Amino acid sequence: MDLVSGYKGVVGLVFGNEKSGSSNEDSYIERLLDCISNGKLAEDRRTAMLELQSVVAESSAAQLAFGAMGFPVMMGILKEERDDVEMVRGALETLVSALTPIDHAKGPKNEIQPAIMNTDLLSREADSISLLLSLLSEEDFYVRYYTLQLLTALLTNSRNRLQEAILTIPRGITRLMDMLMDREVIRNEALLLLTYLTREAEEIQKIVVFEGAFEKIFSIIKEEGGSDGGVVVQDCIELLNNLIRNTASNQILLRETMGFDPLMSILKLRGSTYSFTQQKTINLLSALETLNLLIMGGSEADPGKDANKLTNRTTLAQKKVLDHLLMLGVESQWAPVAVRCSALRCIGNLIAGHPKNLDALASKFLGEGPQEPALNSILRIILRTSSIQEFVAADYVFKSFCENNADGQTMLASTLIPQPHSMIHAPVEEDVNMSFGSMLLQGLNFSEKDGDLETCCRAASVLSHVMKDNLQCKERVLRIELEAPTPSLGAPEPLMHRVVKYLAVASSMQNKDGKSSGNSYVQPVILKLLVTWLADCPSAVNCFLDSRPHITYLLELVSNSIATVYIKGLAAVLLGECVIYNKSVESGKDAFAIVDSISQKVGLTSYFLKFEEMQKSFLFTSSTSAQPHKQLTRSASASMVDVDESNLSDQKNEDHPVLSSIFDAPFLNVVKSLEVNIREKFVEVYSQPKSKVAVVPAELEQKSGESDGEYIKRLKAFVEKQCSEIQDLLGRNASLAEDVATIGGGRSRSEQGAGSDRVQVETLRRDFQEASKRLELLKAEKAKLESEASMYKNLAGKMESDLKSLSDAYNSLEQANFHLEKEVRAKNGGGGSSSIPDVDAIRAEAREEAQKESEAELNDLLVCLGQEQSKVDKLSTRLLELGEDVDKLLEDIGDDVGLPGDGEDDED
């Protein structure tokens, strides 16, 4: 066949570079296969089969040679010689050996793996899987056993191909399920095979469930002794987890058929002295994973997930699962750390968003003698445990308890009552009688003498959960004051100021020690507490700003080259909160003063760069694509059980479990939304002028008794002052625009870059708008003066025109009178003086009347001209003060006036 011929080419390539011994071995395999195929005596064929199986199991070269030419021979025996049980057994055992990798400690890493190549070749055979499944019906025990081993080997290296093949074979999975009721060895092999087969194969999972897998699984677990059983119990629970992992319908079927009682029996500890072997630990971890899968309710894409999750949690609570989890995670301190951590995480998942389970945990009391609330016991684990993993798991319980649970937060905050200083360092045994709040404040009350900054950090983490999104709790905690270590040093100080002091102490200890593993996450935890506290709480911001060194310290922390990106980023967020939630009007504490300090001490480019660096860090980018929880398989079980705390101190900051717990998805979303608000608030602060340069509109009005010259001088001084202030403002905004534009250009997200550009344009637009409003008022005043000047000019022109018309009329009258006189003289010369009237008398009378009329009109005109001339003189003076050239303005008017005057003189 083609695959085999191609495979021979690979064999030839490998053996072509080998010594003659390898070629001899190849020939030896070929002779054995020839004897098996063509041997006359049955005994010779069986001997050859045994020899072939032995050499293939021991030599990689033999495996490679067998893969090139042996499969057709073996498959022929399985098809045609079913009656010869010995040969069928030998063929199956040889195939298993050919598919089992041989470890070569000294071999090169890139060496060809014959077992994997053989698996691929056999799985490609169309009839091979069907033939092997048919062998499961054989009566011989070893035939069924080796067949199951062979199928398991195929699944290990070619799972997807085998899953697809089995689905096409009628009753293929049914035959495998029947093996679970076979003898113990067969059952165990079938169980292992099914765990491989059901991984990420929804169709196969449904068929297996339909074939009664749940009943068979719990029956085997019970037979094996529950959690005290061996690896078979682990395989059973792993198969169970495969069946319910992402399928809500299978979980519903389990709940409605078997119920959750069999699972509870696995989690229940037996006996007064509990011993935890490694296998028992693995079994409990597997059962806790089952519980966690039921609490989650199914895959995210399943539409019935939420309803199923709610029903599962309610049903589990009715089965007293919380008691079992508290026993494993809190009360059984002799249990392995891995079990305690897994149980605590299950408690957190069980109560998250479930009011009844939240109330159940809040009302639980633990202990046989003096009982105490379960939450107090979990808090003690946080404050006292030496395991970082256990601290993270216990902290998750409080995170889940306080999330969207205002009543629970208020209940916890109501117990926050400071203890007298004499009780702060009381023996650990006495904290059983303490309230939750007193124990938490005791953990927060760091003593440099003890050097227990780790405890303070853990208490701060719990306090941040208590105050998250709860203004009432923030205000209540704000009123807490702690006594000074030495009462004579002064009055008690607010808890917030003490927390900031711890932040500075952690910074100094880290700088002193260099890379201090113990403090690698202390500062981020305390910073998260402060960020949570100040969020949407102006009174907390005001308390924080009451101490001026706080802002100075944060500015230094943002610029600290030794600090991690998370410390600098959170410090930048904290500074931003002091701006966006700042309601103070006091000089030096208002939002403008904080922004000004950031601009001068850090620089806006450097400041906003801290947000960029933090958002590009590992924790921010990995949170957007959260990896699914690692399945607890046989290969992963050992690493899950052995929690090596010593390695945690050597991990990078990005990988530290505490940092991963701090930077969870909800907190990262808060930080991202705060960044947007901070940028907008900075723009708003810069777009509004300071109060001391605010424009008073009354300054633009002319005061009573103020001359025009003084008024104009005052306006000029005001404009100069405004221009100076505008230049200063423009300089600031130019710097801001340059800084934010630089940041916007470096942003990886284009929409945020575009938004940043729009914000800067809007800022500059607002700044120029403020300046233009002031200048427009002066321009309007100047335009008004120019309009009046133009009106007076037009009026003067009209009056000159009227005067010219009157002069023309007078001249025409004089000419008419001259003609009349001429006519009269002519008639007088012709004779008859007695009948002719006295022309001279008439002319003198007419002249007298015309002169009177003309003089009256001229007097009126001169009065008007005198009034207008006074106005023109006043206007000219005002225009001169404004810098206008009056002579040039009146040049045309003077020419027009001169013409009629000259004509009049000539006429006279």
Question: For position 749, what pLDDT does the model report?
Answer: 46
Asked if residues 302 and 353 have their Cβ atoms less than 8 Å apart, the reply is no
Higher pLDDT, 888 or 356: 356
- Which tokens in the block code for residue 154? 């195929």
Question: For position 646, what pLDDT does the model report?
Answer: 47
CA distance 317 to 356: 9
Q: Is the pLDDT assigned to residue 162 strictly greater than 90?
A: no
What residues contact residue 173 under an 8 Å CB cut-off, 6+ apart? 166, 197, 204, 207, 208, 211
The segment with the largest mean pLDDT, out of 242-256, 715-729, 815-829, is 242-256
Question: For position 776, what pLDDT does the model report?
Answer: 77
What residues contact residue 153 under an 8 Å CB cut-off, 6+ apart? 96, 99, 100, 115, 119
Phi, psi of 186 (to 5 degrees): -60, -45
Question: For position 432, what pLDDT does the model report?
Answer: 65
Question: For position 765, what pLDDT does the model report?
Answer: 66
Q: Is the pLDDT assigned to residue 529 strictly greater than 50?
A: yes
Q: What is the domain class of 21-103+111-211 according to CATH?
A: mainly alpha
Question: For position 832, what pLDDT does the model report?
Answer: 46
Residue with tokens 């490679």: 64
The amino acid that residue 696 corresponds to is V
Question: For position 660, what pLDDT does the model report?
Answer: 85
Identify the CA nearest to 908 among candidates 800, 819, 810.
810
Asked if residues 518 and 510 have their Cβ atoms less than 8 Å apart, the reply is no
Q: Is the pLDDT assigned to residue 879 strictly greater than 60?
A: yes
Question: For position 87, what pLDDT does the model report?
Answer: 94
Q: 776-783: which pairs have CB atoms within 8 A and are 24 or more residues apart?
A: 777/700, 778/700, 778/715, 778/719, 781/700, 781/715, 782/882
Lowest mean pLDDT among 247-251, 309-313, 408-412, 903-907: 903-907
For strands 481-482 and 365-366, give the pairing.
unpaired
- Distance between start and end Cα atoms, the chain: 141
Higher pLDDT, 98 or 703: 98
Lowest mean pLDDT among 169-183, 504-518, 597-611, 737-751: 737-751
CA distance 596 to 585: 15
Asked if residues 503 and 489 have their Cβ atoms less than 8 Å apart, the reply is no
Q: Is the pLDDT assigned to residue 642 strictly greater than 70?
A: no
171 CA to centre of own chain: 50
Lowest mean pLDDT among 66-70, 447-451, 613-617, 841-845: 447-451
CA distance 237 to 633: 10
> What rounded mean pLDDT belongs to the chain?
81
CA distance 286 to 309: 19
Question: For position 625, what pLDDT does the model report?
Answer: 42
